[in-house]
Amino acid sequence: MAENDEQIVTAGYDLVFAALPRSATFARAWRAHALGDDFPDGFEHISFVTLDEMRTIAREMGIGAGDAFGDLACGLGGISLWIARETGARLTGVDISASAVAGSRARAEAQGLAGAARFVHAPLAATGLDSGALDAGMSTDALQYVPDKRAALREAARVLRPGGRMVVTCFEADAERVAGLPVLGSDPAGDYRPLLDEAGFDVTSYEETPAWRERLTRTYQAVADERDALAREMGEAACNALLGEIVLTLQVRPYSGRVLFAATKRE
């Protein structure tokens, strides 16, 4: 089941990440509804992280020049590359999608950050990073897709040094609504705190992010309304992969919350 879920996620994101740079329509819709005017150019993402949240994530990780931090499920690396630039810390991004890793490397080059960042193609449950290699970790809007959340959080704890900080945004699942769905229904978490405790973290803050449902619905509806333009610009297969998830999310309403939490790996 876990392997099948990972294959579904990989196939979809590989298509989407390879095609997104061709779509001005997607970029316009995401900027208007998810990113906001103040979001820094060149560091765009496909999640719901705001500039305020990026600042909170950087502050809560507590990193500075020369520290090592990880971005677990980094996508195209926009958020963590911005944090690397602002803090002077060194980034290791991990993602299960080869297109994400290639896109992150290209973006690091384009932003003059190639010397400060490396990207690893791996699932979160088995990153291949050395134990205790990271001073801090982050993950944005991705944990809900991970088929074995205990394994992924155990792995996050393993690669962090004792006392290292982990800062995450992610969606909590509504167990009844995701029952039977691939990926979101495999290992649904309605509250990540017990899993964090089990993995060896002390949770220091755990909060629902403001107006997340309105932002998600508005953004996804705006993208879904552009189907024809997206299919022209991205190609049918990538457009279907993108809209498959978006339409399912609009119809099923699988999430009960979107949270931002910070935790410390126990000594």
Ligand X SMILES: C[S@@+](CC[C@H](N)C(=O)[O-])C[C@H]1O[C@@H](n2cnc3c(N)ncnc32)[C@H](O)[C@@H]1O
**Contact residues for ligand X, defined by CB under 6 A:** 6, 9, 13, 45-47, 49, 73-75, 78-79, 95-97, 100, 123-124, 140-142, 145-146
Of the candidates 149, 69, 157, the residue with the CA atom closest to the CA atom of residue 116: 69
| Minimum CB distance to ligand X, residue 267 (Å) | 27
* Between 45 and 265, CB nearer to ligand X: 45
* Between 23 and 97, CB nearer to ligand X: 97
Residue nearest to ligand X (CB): 75
Across the beta sheet with 134-140, the strand order is 117-121, 90-95, 68-72, 134-140, 160-173, 255-265, 201-208
* Between 95 and 226, CB nearer to ligand X: 95
Buried/exposed 234-263: b ≥16 CB within 10 Å, e otherwise: bbeebbbbbbebbbebeeeebbbbbbbbbb
Q: Coil, strand or helix: which one is 110? A: helix
Of the candidates 76, 26, 78, the residue with the CA atom closest to the CA atom of residue 53: 78
| Minimum CB distance to ligand X, residue 139 (Å) | 7
Distance (Å, rounded) from C-alpha 173 to C-alpha 185?
8
Distance (Å, rounded) from C-alpha 119 to C-alpha 62?
21
* Between 57 and 68, CB nearer to ligand X: 57
| Minimum CB distance to ligand X, residue 213 (Å) | 16
* Between 232 and 247, CB nearer to ligand X: 247
| Minimum CB distance to ligand X, residue 1 (Å) | 13
* Between 32 and 162, CB nearer to ligand X: 32
| Minimum CB distance to ligand X, residue 85 (Å) | 16
Distance (Å, rounded) from C-alpha 184 to C-alpha 254?
8
Whether the Cβ atoms of residue 215 and residue 36 lie closer than 8 Å to each other: no
Burial environment of residue 106 by CB neighbours within 10 A (0 to 12, 13 to 18, 19 or more): middle
| Minimum CB distance to ligand X, residue 13 (Å) | 4
